[in-house]
Structure 1
Amino acid sequence: MLGLVLGLMLGVGVGRMIWTTSTGPTDAAKAGAQVAAAAPQAPQAPATPPPPAQRPILSPTVFKVPLEESPTKGPADALVTMVEFTDFQCPFCARANATIKQVQEEYGDKLRLVVKQHPLPFHPRARPAALASLAAHNQGKFFEYHDKLFANQKALDDASLETFAKEVGLDVKRWKKDLADPKLAAIVDRDEALAKSLGAGGTPAFFVNGRFFSGAQPIEVFRAAIEEELGKAQMMVNEGMKASEIYASVLSHGVTAPPPPPEPPVQKVDVGSAPVKGSSDAPVTLVAFSDFECPFCSRAANTVKLLEDEYKGKLRVAFKHQPLPRHANAKLAAAASMAAHEQGKFWEMHDKLFANQTALDRASLERYAQELNLDVGKFKAALDSNKYDEQIAKDSEQGTQVGASGTPTFFVNGRQIVGAKPIEVFRRVIDEELKKSGVASAK
């Protein structure tokens, strides 16, 4: 009968998910940056957006989330264990913390909370705060210190962190010594790596008996997740399993990482009249759909430069324009790059524009033209004529047709790579394409 219950947990879990409207974005999504993966910028929403689509919030997949020695509140024999990955500088984590406190009161000893650290790279004080909280944990006061941090998110400097240590009654001398202990840094690194391996790129992220949902969701989502897992756990107890064994039993049937998403179909992306760098007979062509005002495009452009050096003679790079509507100077910058292209200096202007993304007004563009020794009069006339509007519009339309709905988006021999991905992602695809053509990779 126990096997039937476990099968029910997995089978029913796949078929039954919590559905709700999309609310409470993660901090990473809000900031426009993925961490670990650097998500592309999406096009501007229409003036009158459609109603939010219904989507599943609680993943049907059970993930193996080890508890280790992470700070815990609630008994070891709680029927439901909720693991949270948090960032003390994330406003959505602070909002979720208030919700968590409420569900802890409602469910009492039936719920165990385990907190893991996931300081996001664009929050400079999140990691010091994480280390400070773990130093407080060494003295048995993690949650008191945890609450202080969330109540004072705008004051996470070193002096404030020490003040909080005093206020919660820590031995400050010991706290300072522990703060410098590399063991705490290793714990933060371990938690971050675990979050990424589980597909939890943003904060807050939650695993309820191993099932994932993210964001500062309404309390109804938390309740629904807990109730669903509570019901299954109670069935297991009724069949004779000890409550203290529930979490390990559930996770024994889980997975360690989400399955990789299927690769998009190969697209035919014509280079056309786009600016090109590299040999025309190179076995691999990389087409970039980009926006000069997009910070992720700038980051990705640096990656492409490294790839050009590594795969010299084997890689051709083409640039297509996709200025996003919300970037006020992106279209003008695109035109400026084409005006420079007309004088044989597209790539020099390309580099100038990405190096000066906060200064893409008309006067700045003319200054860059002068610095590149262009015929400035001819450059100005080209911008005034709007002669490049049609080509920019065609590039953007082509991007939309092949699935490049945000920037940056790349096509490597027609294989799509979305966002400012790590260079290893590009290398893998390029090496695979070189292998197909019978050409040795750069390595």
Structure 2
Amino acid sequence: AQQQAEPAAAAKKVEVPADSPSFGPATAKVTIVEWSDFECPFCSRAVPTLNKIKETYGKDVRVVFRHQPLPMHSHAKIAAQASMAAHEQGKFWEMHDKLFANQRALERGDLEKYAQELGLDMNKFKAALESSKISTKVDADSSAGTAVGANGTPAFFINGRFLSGAQPFEAFKPLIDQEIAKADKALAAGTKAEDLYAKLNQDNVNAAPAAPAAPAEPEVQKVEVGNAPVRGPKNAPVTIVAWSDFECPFCSRAVPTIEQVEKAYKGKVKFAFKHQPLPFHQNAKLAAVASMAANEQGKFWEMHDKLFANQRALDRASLEKYAQEIGLNVNKFKTDLESGKFDKQIEADMADGSAKGANGTPTFFINGRTLVGAQPFEAFKKVIDEELKKAGVAMAAEAK
């Protein structure tokens, strides 16, 4: 977050393709280019912020939408294509709002239903959804995003100045205000309105400090395993500590990836689990308590697997059923569930996670290096291989 307070540190030359959806005039004083993913929960959180920017700044701001459907989101690419199929009929923003309002329903049938609700020509929409032209456009956006460092979503470039994540309006405001002041100066000095974005974008790139010759060392935090449940050898050269929530769908998506990591790096990785039950998941805290009650009987991981496999059934009765199924002493389990004895550890995990920036779930620390979200195996592999290299351990074989 600190870097975002010093935006001059990162400015990129960012193109605005003529066929990209946008609102606000091309002659606006500020152009915000957003790379986004319709299945990403953080992207949907950014929508009200962008609406507030629209209301506050009117014609002074243009927002351009570009696509970065992340590989971990199985419906993101087709949703991106649906938005562009709607764009061909002049209804991109209406479809954009529908998709973000219905992130859990992005199947082909759902997309056709939204198209119908928006009054689109259905034959045209279906044909466009399958056209290679639209698929190519989405891929081009994605590659362009990767080239400027927009690998996570949402990512914003404000006249080229980078702002990462679902930031509040207050994070955008100072940057927008600074850019409007620069635009007013440029216009007064004779820059034409239609050349404004190209000039301000280039000025910001020129003003940004030159990139350091050597890649910066990644920030490493001191992360203690403490008394968290752990699996893997005690003296493993790589320790992965996860902050997770049993009701979070992204956390459950990370489970098979972690299993793949453990298999690929057998004997070289240990994995610790810490709790970050999010306030909007009503059963997450109780599920965390249940996992620790199972831990008390030596069966944390069995309960961990049950809870993630049954995320929609985490009420009290379901937890007792799982305790029975994994062979716990159910009376002891029930007593422990009510005892409050694990509250302190769970709250300590939460506070420790928040202090380290693990406010969303899942968040992983690999030898203290942060990896946020349900990332693919390759993202873990890159960091683990670097850590093993540091430790002088032979690289693991590719995961089968």
- TM-score, normalized by the shorter chain, greater than 0.5: yes
Distance 1:97 1:361, change over 3 A: same
Describe the shift of the 1:289–1:161 C-alpha distance in structure 2 as closer, same or farther (beyond 3 A).
closer
Asked if 1:297 is matched to 2:297, the reply is no
| Contact 1:145-1:164 within 8 A present in 2 as well | no
- How far 1:275 moved relative to its partner? 2.3
1:189 counterpart = 2:142: no
Q: Output the CA distance in 1 between the equivalents of 2:223 and 2:198.
A: 49
Unaligned runs of 5+ in 1: 1-54, 137-143, 167-171
Task: Report matched runs for 1:188-227 at 5 Å.
Answer: 188-195=138-145, 197-199=148-150, 205=156, 207-208=158-159, 210-211=160-161, 224=177, 227=180
Structure 2: unaligned runs, 5 residues or longer: 39-43, 103-109
How far apart, in 2, do the equivalents of 1:396 and 1:267 lie? 16
- Which letter maps to 2:88? A
Q: Give me the whole-angstrom Cα distance separating, in 1, the residues matched to 2:371 and 2:17.
A: 36
Rounded Cα–Cα distance in structure 1 between residues aligned with 2:330 and 2:169: 54
1:280 is matched with 234
Q: Percentage identity across aligned positions?
A: 41
- For residue 293 of structure 1, report the CA deviation from its aligned partner: 2.9
* Higher Cα Rg, which structure: 1
1:92 to 48, 63, 86: 48
Maintained 8 Å contact 2:245/2:284: yes
Distance (whole Å) between structure 2 residues aligned to residue 406 and residue 160 of structure 1: 30
Q: Structure 1: how far apart are the matches of 2:290 and 2:23?
A: 58
- Given candidates 52, 68, 71, the residue that maps to 2:17 is 68
Secondary structure of the residue that 1:439 maps to in structure 2?
coil
| 2:219 paired with 1:264 | yes
Equivalent residue of 2:31, what SS?
A: strand
CA contact (8 A) 2:223 2:365 kept: no
* Correspondence 1:28-427 to 2 at 5 A: 61-71=10-20, 78=27, 80=29, 82=31, 84-85=33-34, 92=48, 95=51, 99=55, 102-103=58-59, 115-118=64-67, 126-136=79-89, 144-146=90-92, 149=95, 157-158=111-112, 161=115, 164-165=119-120, 177-195=127-145, 197-199=148-150, 205=156, 207-208=158-159, 210-211=160-161, 224=177, 227-234=180-187, 237=190, 247-252=197-202, 255=205, 263-269=218-224, 271-324=225-278, 327-396=281-350, 398-399=352-353, 404-405=358-359, 407-427=361-381
TM-superposed CA distance for 1:202, in Å, is 5.3
- On the 8 A contact 1:205/1:215 being kept in 2, the answer is no
Separation in 2, partners of 1:101, 1:437:
52
> Number of aligned pairs?
364
Taking a change above 3 Å as real, the CA distance of residues 86 and 378 of structure 1, as seen in their structure-2 partners, is closer
Change (3 A) 1:102 1:283: closer
Greater relative CO (CA pairs within 8 A, separation 6+): 1
Matched AA of 1:234 = L
Normalization by structure 2: what TM-score?
0.69
Q: Is the 8 A contact 1:267 1:415 kept in 2?
A: no
Query: Counterpart of 1:237 in structure 2: which amino acid?
Result: G
TM-score after normalising by structure 1? 0.63
**Aligned-pair Cα RMSD in Å:** 4.7
